[in-house]
Structure 1
Amino acid sequence: MYGCEAWTISKQIQNKLEATEMWFLRRILWIPWTAKKTNERVLNEANKRRSLVRTIMKRQATFLGHVMRRGKLEHLVTTGKFEGNRGRGRQRERIMDGLAT
C-alpha cells in the first residue's frame, strides 16, 4: 500500500484489490483454492468485512490536506519567507538569491 495516496482507483482496480484481499484471507485461513467457498462465507469465517478499498480511500482523503497546502509550501521554498512577523537576527540567504548571481 506504499504510495496508495496517489492511486487512481477505477472500478477495474477496485475489483482487483477486492480479489487480492480475499486471496489474503483465504491464505490466512488455510482454505485451498480448490475449496468451493463463496467470498461471503470466507468473510463470515474470518469475522471480517472488506476494508482494503475503504482504507485506501481514507488515506487518500487525509493526503488531500497535504496537497491543498502545496501552494504555501512552494512559496516558502522559493522565497524563503514565512508569512507573519519577521524573524530576529541576520537574514538568511534565499535560494533565489543564489540563482540571480
Structure 2
Amino acid sequence: MYGAETWTIKKEDENRLLVFEMMCLRKIMGVSRLDRIRNTIIRDTLGLNNTIIDKITQKRIRFFGHIQRMRNDRYPKIVIEGNVHGKRPRGRPPKRWMDTIKTDCLAITSIAAAGRMAKDRVVWHGFTMDQMARQSAPASVPTP
C-alpha cells in the first residue's frame, strides 16, 4: 500500500484488492474456498473491522489534510491544486485525485468544509478518526 494516498481506484480495482485481501486472510487462517467459510466469519475471527479499501481511504483523507496545511509554494500543493491548460482528449475524463477526495468526504461533509477543517490539525485528526470509526462499526444484522 506504499503511496496509496495518491491512488485513484476504479471499482474493478477495488474488487481486485478486496479479493486479494481475502485470499491472504484465508491463507493466514489456513482455510480454502472449498471449506465454504464466509468472508465475514473470517474477518470476525481475525478481529478485522476495516477492509483494505477503508485503509486506503483513510490514508487519502489524511494526505488531503497534509496538502491543505502546506504552503502554497510547495510542489505537492501546486500539483494537486494546479490547473493544466489545453484540450482534453475524447472520451470519458480520467478520474482525478480530487474527485476521489470529494467522494471520500461527501458522506460526511462538503469538500469546502473539509478543506477548512483540514487547516486545523487536531480537528482534522478527530475527523479522520470519526470516519474510520463509522466505517469499522459492524453493520446491524436483524435478528430473526
Q: Shorter chain as normaliser: what TM range?
A: 0.5 to 0.7
- Aligned position for 2:74: 73
Q: Is the 8 A contact 1:17 1:52 kept in 2?
A: yes
Aligned-pair distance for 1:6? 1.1
CA distance in 1, matches of 2:48, 2:38: 14
After TM superposition, give the deviation of residue 71 of structure 1 in Å: 2.8
Report SS of the residue matched to 2:61: helix
Give the superposition deviation at 1:35: 1.6
Tell me, yes or no, if structure 1 residue 20 matches structure 2 residue 23: no
1:10 paired residue number: 10
Question: What is the Cα-based RMSD across aligned positions, in Å?
Answer: 2.0
* Cα-to-partner distance string for 1:18-68 (whole Å, 9 max, x where unaligned): 212211110111112422112122223223223311111111111123434
Q: Figure out how many residues of one structure are paired with residues of the other and give that number.
A: 74
Match of residue 35 from structure 1: 35
1:4, 1:43 → 2: CA distance?
Answer: 22
Query: Over alpha carbons, which structure has the higher Rg?
Result: 1
1:56 maps to 56
Unpaired runs of at least 5, structure 2: 76-144
Shift of 1:70: 6.1
TM-score normalised by L of structure 1: 0.60
Give the whole-Å Cα distance in 2 for the aligned partners of 1:52 and 1:70: 31
- TM-score scaled by length of structure 2: 0.44
Bigger shift: 35-44 or 65-74?
65-74
| Runs of 5+ consecutive residues of structure 1 not aligned to the other structure | 75-101
Deviation at 1:10, TM superposition (A): 2.1
Q: Identify the residue that residue 108 of structure 2 maps to in structure 1.
A: none
